[in-house]
Structure 1
Amino acid sequence: MRAPFLFIVISLLLSSPFSSSTLLSITKGSSLFVEKPNKVLISPNGVFSSGFYPVGNNTYCFAIWYSQSLNDRSHTVVWMANRDRPVNGRHSKLSLLKTGNIILTDAYRLIVWATDTTTTSLAQLELYDTGNLVLHTLEGEILWQSFNSPTDTLLPLQPLTKNTMLVSSRSQNNYSSGFYKFYFDGDNVLRLRFDGLKVSSMYWPTPWLQPWENGRSTYNNSRIAILDPSGHFKSSDNFKFSAADMGTGPKRRLTLDVDGNLRLYSLNEKLSAWVVTWQAKSNPCTIHGICGPNSLCNYHRKGGRRCNCIPGFKMKNHTDWSYGCEPYFNLLCDEEAGFIKLPHLDCYGQDIAYFPNQTFERCKEKCSKDCNCKGFQFKYDRPNGYYLCYTKALLLGSSEGIEETMYIKLPKSNLSSYDKPTQELRLDCSQQVTTPLYRNYKKKKENSKVKFMLWFACGCGGVEIIGFLFVLYVLYRDRQRSRATEKGYLQVGSGFRKYTYAELKKATLNFSIEIGRGGSGVVYEGTLSDNRVAAIKRLTEANQGEEEFLAEVSTIGRLNHMNLIETWGYCVEGKHRLLVYEYMEHGSLAENITSNTLDWKKRFEIALGTAKGLAYLHEECLEWVLHCDVKPQNILLDSNYQPKVADFGLSKLFNRGNIGNSSFSRMRGTRGYMAPEWVFNLPITSKVDVYSYGVVMLEMITGRSPTGTVHAMDDNGGMEQRRLVTWVTEKMHETTGNGSWIEEIVDTAMDGEYDKNKMELLVRVALQCAEEDKNARPTMSKVVEMLLGHENDEFEKSSIPCIIDRATNESSCS
């Protein structure tokens, strides 16, 4: 009996490429090396393994995976330390330092990940039977554990808390962070959210229902959910489910898949395959962003999900549906437009405006005259007995089992050519290729050269200095090689390009065309090697460490919103720190206010777009970002005068788990726009940006700078000076009930051509944002809600007007 047993054990060991040399723990001063992929940590029960896992050609991540291979000989990864910053296949290692800190270093000692732990006690890194990688002292104190920082998978007994979230992978072959998130929202409810390149939206539970209508509770703020080994999942918001094969036995995992669906899997040991035993969405077409913009989604149980382009559009990237479709046509603003009807299509979010009690022709006319309108939804509101009109800036939708109807805006000249069924499109997987990271390693020759120089110095005496200088040259040359190597993997890890200082110096003609200047640096116009015109900012604070700078620009590269300036790349060489942005044709808001190029409509759109961009920074992105310097110079305008907030990210990054830490080493911002918290040394929160936004809006409305003073008449008929906020407030109270106060404060460049109701709304919102007491200021998302809620012309002058809830068509007043 013993011989067959030994044969089975040996066969199992040989079947896994990671099992020929295993460890139970790592102690202080020891390391795991990427050149030794067979040397891995393994849990005592043998279920889990941890080590360097290949994610591409010569590219690795430190990961945890199920030791048992599947029927295709692949392994199931459940956690990664550096999913967005893979390391080289040579000279990379994971080390447990004597200080108690675990660091993952790439070639030439660049730290890409660390636990940031310290201890004077003896410590070891161990992989538990649960799949939890734990750093603990010999006394049992846990210093760090992988269960507290999940990637896309939740294992049994691993809690999901208010400080953690699951983030999907980008694709089946790309383990970097994707577009979907599973987390506890601020109202204590578990949610699934799509965070795309341009838009963000919640799609589970049913977004148009209240939490209690979805069977959720908002009253338990403990915010914790857990999957037990028997397949039962329970959350503090009263959400729970059970696996179809519930009971002890199968290995299980809860994974947020690349398509945005949350699924519970059980391992079929006989088939060596994972089986879905529960999923959040039975119809994948209801998952936002699944087919990208300008597309249709259809789902059939036998055929699965199918993506097609809306008539008049073509597939943008034949290997990735997340890019959606792009138009065949180029519809000019003054060109006559037509519309085609698409039944069973609902485009969620991205409403330009909401118009109640409209006729079809009036709704059609509103979209025709709006250059930004891509189509409109026209639906009957049964409770109120009239039709609703929603104009859309972006077409993101679903077409399966939907009762709504969309009307798509196309050139009228060839409308008939688009009015036909779309051809079914499928991904062309043959074009999917893996781009290897650039590696250019050569064997180091320093030791032999140094020895040669030492022997030569002993023989010749007088050439010690030459030998010393030669060694310095060799070290400098290898440092330059490491920088060239960094360029490849940082480009893959961060998603945007690293430029050399020489490239940017050439692009800007030796930094000769200055287009802007601020406290953190000077901005120059430049033309990149691919002929793109860019704005290149040369930072003056060059004392920042290289690793700190790289960590921050990596975060900036993951922030994507239509009202945030897009970052194309960066440069870090010696003392040089530069950022490369997209170029804005119309410059800054400051330039346009003084040049009188902004009419009322443009100013209102700038106020709304700026609020959306700041709301994304404060509340929607993975790491909360405080701008700390909101001013007209940092609000740039594109060719359509759409605003983009610039200079964000390098001010202050807040991790969601440490939002209470609001310490700043110095005051930040610009005089006239800074909130009182800076002056009185109070805790700094996102409300400092809200205050600055309110001041900027008042400046845009009045045309007066807050850095100066406004002359006003005192009680004795004389003239005295007032701050801008104080002056506007006094004007409003002096003539309450009389519309003339608006005329007294509005910029004379508008010649009285503006909507007085909306102007009063914007003034009141701006004054509320500029309140001295930060608790009296609204959040930026509330500002967006107030501005969007009043696209109709109804207005209550006594207070901020009522907000119309689209889901219930009920109104509420604040």
Structure 2
Amino acid sequence: MCAPFLFIVVSLLLSSPFSSSTLLRITKGLSLSVEKPNNVLISANRVFSSGFYPVGKNAYCFAIWYSQSLDDGSYTVVWMANRDQPVNGRRSKLSVLKTGNIILTDADRLIVWATETTTTSLVQLELYDTGNLVLHTLEGKILWQSFNSPTDTLLPLQPLTKNTMLVSSRSQSNYSSGFYKLYIDGDNVLRLQFDGLEISSFYWPNPWLQPWELGRSTYNNSRIAVLDPSGHFKSSDNLKFSAADLGTGPKRRLTVDVDGNIRLYSLNEKLRAWVVTWQAKSNPCTIHGICGPNSVCTYHRKGGRRCNCILGFKMKNQRDWSYGCEPYFNLLCNEEAVFIKLPHVDFYGQDLAYFPNQTFERCKEKCSQNCNCKGFQFKYDRTNGYYLCYTKALLLDGYRSEGFEETMYIKLPKSNLSSYDKPSQEFRLDCSQQVTTPLYRNYKQQQENSTVKFMLWFACGCGGVEIIGFLLVSYVLYRNRQGSHATENGYLQVGTGFTKFTYAELKQATSNFSIEIGRGGSGVVYKGTLSDNRVAAIKRLTEANQGEEEFLAEVSTIGRLNHMNLIETWGYCVEGKHRLLVYEYMEHGSLAENITSNMLDWKKRFEIALGTAKGLAYLHEECLEWVLHCDVKPQNILLDSNYQPKVADFGLSKLFNRGSIGNSSFSRIRGTRGYMAPDWVFNLPITSKVDVYSYGVVMLEMITGRSPTGTVHAMDDNGGMEQRRLVTWVRKKMHETTGNGSWIEEIIGTAMDGEYDKNKMELLVRVALQCAEEDKNTRPTMSKVVEMLLDHENDEFEKSFIPCIIDACDSLKFEYLVEE
């Protein structure tokens, strides 16, 4: 009786995606084997892969990496499950157990890593387009995700929270945990820490300054930091920075490198190489532990970092600079000592004592009489007009700079005085040999009775086949019920503070909806103050007949959108027929309120054009689902306190899966007269090009100060007056005066008072006219618009890249060796 059903199960297995070399997901009872290197999980967009990654001889870690190899053939790893405990290259596997737990077993005997999750529901392990490896139920509940346990890299949309940290790798080829950590400290400040072999210390932000002196804030309780896809990083302590190539498009990663520096990288697709677009420390010698104890770091922009042992010291480990230097001598407590002068050198911290208003001889005497004193710094205090004396217990974080006026004196035994005339020894790492670290495993053989084992398998055979068949059929029926991206909504709600409000809460926040600040086709917007004192814009939707399931599905998509040029959605309310959305409040209102204001100079207008384009490009091409705005107009472009634009009123217009956008359909025409593309009128398929058209019209209105819903009076060929639409009028002005350079002056709005960059304004008008073409096929994509607006800055852009200098023994190959 088992045979026919067994044939059906085998057929299902052969026809399922698990039979291919790359998988989209795995479910309960299935495994990935280290002995099948091509059998990996891959994201739907094929950007990320996950599987067993080789880290040495017969040594593997379960990892996530970028699928595209670099120019040198290597791959960029962004996450590892077992970075400090590689597994055997034979019989090791990652398994999704029927209990809902994921385990990584070494040689099928030793569990080295597990998610420690349990559930009775059907689950699947899936690699999302964001690079997040997620274990979730078919109902969408997330049980575990790699984003919550990062290694050394933060990907766009991955939150760094109070419960997570980034830890550097030990070296370029050794992925095990290194000495540098990035995390949000107990005082709510994002910090870099050196956690070395003997001592630990903070070195970023500058430890001698208070957080508020650097613009940081300790008064926050959210403790979260996020890098968005456009290259903008923001932390809850007010730390903000951006990539030099800010904008949608490039693949990015934020990594704590092996040298202790944080760097933001963008992938150059043509060169197949990562380029540094931001870094925390411009001078690597200010990174603690970089050269080890008893050494001095010197940095030259062209030559990079150099490490030298202090006179009387020698390198401790020829292959690893972090061990620093050790003395040739053994200085006894009562032994006569001499002091060697090191000008322009400082050793940070580790002061035994501080003595103000001292002479050199008294300072020298204090160090001589203290057996624990390794040297002293003698420094002139210009403020008080006397010398300061700092005696040192340890010689750590040595740094030489011609800009230092300080002088350091090192304590050495007088008996070795003749050897101190030699120049200090420069670190020269020995990279000639490969470093192999054996990892010995004591695998215990399990004693099993073969007869009992056979009978057990036979007894469970038919029943097991039926259970497996039921699970497989259930998977085939349910795997498409929930989109892979809907499950990520729970994480993004945590990352963005997305909250479900009650109707009573929002009614109270708006004083019974009494302060109206905006009105549109989809609803009325009110100003309100939430219970945590945040000022919010609360939109009351008029489409009250929308079903709760449909509304929540669309709201979940809005919650997953995260871009600096999109209005931030804080929450929602769905009760009965009430549908409300809660947004951040914009101080300067909408673009419509500011078009004729002289507060918007040409620079601000150009930035508004660029920022709006970036926000729309993200909606169309970068977010988890394609979102068509369908109502781009000045009223839906809001301006923050710095007049930076944020596109609003998106998400409830039309959502598309990436594969189905060509088959778009709308039940009714959407948009606002004057800004609507002709595609609506001629009943053409609606694509993202309708937003492109509207964007072009808005930009022309912003430049000219003229509304597209009105008429422009122009002189016709016979000297009479005729009425023209805004787009037609601008295009005719440009063609009539081509060559004499005066057309931009004729159309520019009076709000700019004649002060503007003619080249930039002309570029913006040409781009806007191309967007507002009648034929949708001739309109550019929004990402192309961003590219065109940034084109004039290409030269400056190339110069803005920060050189990446990691002074390391790059040819040194570190490998683990796991015994078979």
TM-score category (smaller protein): 0.5 to 0.7
Cα separation, 1, equivalents of 2:655 and 2:706: 32
1:197, 1:561 within 8 Å by CA — same for their partners in 2? no
In structure 1, the residue corresponding to 2:519 is in which secondary structure? strand
Cα separation, 2, equivalents of 1:508 and 1:330: 75
Cα separation, 2, equivalents of 1:582 and 1:418: 66
1:215, 1:239 within 8 Å by CA — same for their partners in 2? yes
2:278, 2:802 within 8 Å by CA — same for their partners in 1? no
Summarize the Cα distance change of 1:703–1:376 in structure 2 as closer, same or farther, 3 Å threshold.
farther
> Between Structure 1 and Structure 2, how many residues are aligned?
805
Deviation at 1:192, TM superposition (A): 0.8
2:628, 2:688 within 8 Å by CA — same for their partners in 1? yes
Summarize the Cα distance change of 1:334–1:300 in structure 2 as closer, same or farther, 3 Å threshold.
same
Cα separation, 2, equivalents of 1:186 and 1:125: 34
- CA deviation digits over 1:564-611, x for unaligned, max 9? 999999999999999999999999999999999999999999999999
Summarize the Cα distance change of 1:457–1:555 in structure 2 as closer, same or farther, 3 Å threshold.
same
Summarize the Cα distance change of 1:187–1:738 in structure 2 as closer, same or farther, 3 Å threshold.
farther
Deviation at 1:88, TM superposition (A): 1.3
2:48 maps to 1:39: no
- CA deviation digits over 1:747-797, x for unaligned, max 9? 999999999999999999999999999999999999999999999999999
1:152, 1:169 within 8 Å by CA — same for their partners in 2? yes
Deviation at 1:109, TM superposition (A): 2.6
Summarize the Cα distance change of 1:784–1:348 in structure 2 as closer, same or farther, 3 Å threshold.
farther
* Identity rate, percent: 90
1:152, 1:256 within 8 Å by CA — same for their partners in 2? yes
Cα separation, 2, equivalents of 1:618 and 1:113: 39
Summarize the Cα distance change of 1:166–1:546 in structure 2 as closer, same or farther, 3 Å threshold.
farther
In structure 1, the residue corresponding to 2:377 is in which secondary structure? strand
Look up the match of 1:549: 551
Deviation at 1:384, TM superposition (A): 3.2
Summarize the Cα distance change of 1:244–1:611 in structure 2 as closer, same or farther, 3 Å threshold.
closer
Cα separation, 1, equivalents of 2:565 and 2:500: 23
- CA deviation digits over 1:262-287, x for unaligned, max 9? 00011111111111111101110110
2:744, 2:762 within 8 Å by CA — same for their partners in 1? yes
Deviation at 1:381, TM superposition (A): 2.6
Cα separation, 2, equivalents of 1:358 and 1:225: 46
Higher alpha-carbon deviation: 455-464 or 253-262: 455-464
- CA deviation digits over 1:400-451, x for unaligned, max 9? 6433221101111232421443243321111342234347999999788999
Summarize the Cα distance change of 1:732–1:509 in structure 2 as closer, same or farther, 3 Å threshold.
same
Summarize the Cα distance change of 1:607–1:491 in structure 2 as closer, same or farther, 3 Å threshold.
closer
TM (norm. structure 2) is 0.52
Summarize the Cα distance change of 1:214–1:525 in structure 2 as closer, same or farther, 3 Å threshold.
closer
Deviation at 1:702, TM superposition (A): 86
Summarize the Cα distance change of 1:78–1:225 in structure 2 as closer, same or farther, 3 Å threshold.
same
- CA deviation digits over 1:80-108, x for unaligned, max 9? 11111211112211111111111111124
Summarize the Cα distance change of 1:412–1:548 in structure 2 as closer, same or farther, 3 Å threshold.
farther
Cα separation, 2, equivalents of 1:326 and 1:610: 58
Greater RCO, CA 8 A, separation 6+: 2
Higher alpha-carbon deviation: 196-205 or 421-430: 421-430
Summarize the Cα distance change of 1:182–1:574 in structure 2 as closer, same or farther, 3 Å threshold.
farther
In structure 2, the residue corresponding to 1:571 is in which secondary structure? strand
Deviation at 1:318, TM superposition (A): 0.8
In structure 2, the residue corresponding to 1:791 is in which secondary structure? helix
Deviation at 1:26, TM superposition (A): 1.1
- CA deviation digits over 1:156-195, x for unaligned, max 9? 0111111111110111111111110111111211111111
Deviation at 1:382, TM superposition (A): 2.9
2:493, 2:559 within 8 Å by CA — same for their partners in 1? no
Unaligned runs of 5+ in 2: 808-818
Higher alpha-carbon deviation: 80-89 or 462-471: 462-471
Deviation at 1:111, TM superposition (A): 1.6
Cα separation, 1, equivalents of 2:220 and 2:96: 39
- CA deviation digits over 1:687-707, x for unaligned, max 9? 999999999999999999999
Cα separation, 2, equivalents of 1:713 and 1:326: 88
Summarize the Cα distance change of 1:339–1:78 in structure 2 as closer, same or farther, 3 Å threshold.
same
Cα separation, 2, equivalents of 1:168 and 1:362: 44
Summarize the Cα distance change of 1:439–1:113 in structure 2 as closer, same or farther, 3 Å threshold.
closer
Summarize the Cα distance change of 1:550–1:117 in structure 2 as closer, same or farther, 3 Å threshold.
farther
Higher alpha-carbon deviation: 347-356 or 31-40: 347-356
Deviation at 1:118, TM superposition (A): 1.2
Higher alpha-carbon deviation: 306-315 or 550-559: 550-559
Summarize the Cα distance change of 1:208–1:170 in structure 2 as closer, same or farther, 3 Å threshold.
same
Look up the match of 2:16: 16
2:438 maps to 1:429: no
Deviation at 1:32, TM superposition (A): 1.0
Deviation at 1:525, TM superposition (A): 74
Higher alpha-carbon deviation: 583-592 or 417-426: 583-592
1:354, 1:792 within 8 Å by CA — same for their partners in 2? no
Cα separation, 1, equivalents of 2:623 and 2:196: 10
Look up the match of 1:766: 768
In structure 2, the residue corresponding to 1:792 is in which secondary structure? helix
1:546, 1:572 within 8 Å by CA — same for their partners in 2? yes
1:285, 1:400 within 8 Å by CA — same for their partners in 2? no
1:58, 1:437 within 8 Å by CA — same for their partners in 2? no
Higher alpha-carbon deviation: 88-97 or 679-688: 679-688
Cα separation, 2, equivalents of 1:20 and 1:163: 37
Summarize the Cα distance change of 1:276–1:568 in structure 2 as closer, same or farther, 3 Å threshold.
closer
1:63, 1:79 within 8 Å by CA — same for their partners in 2? yes
2:693 maps to 1:675: no
Summarize the Cα distance change of 1:98–1:313 in structure 2 as closer, same or farther, 3 Å threshold.
same
- CA deviation digits over 1:450-470, x for unaligned, max 9? 999999999999999999999
- CA deviation digits over 1:217-268, x for unaligned, max 9? 1112211111111111111111111111111111100000000000001111
Which has the higher Rg, Structure 1 or Structure 2? 2
In structure 1, the residue corresponding to 2:464 is in which secondary structure? coil
1:438, 1:485 within 8 Å by CA — same for their partners in 2? no
Summarize the Cα distance change of 1:446–1:541 in structure 2 as closer, same or farther, 3 Å threshold.
farther
Summarize the Cα distance change of 1:141–1:691 in structure 2 as closer, same or farther, 3 Å threshold.
closer
Cα separation, 1, equivalents of 2:631 and 2:330: 37
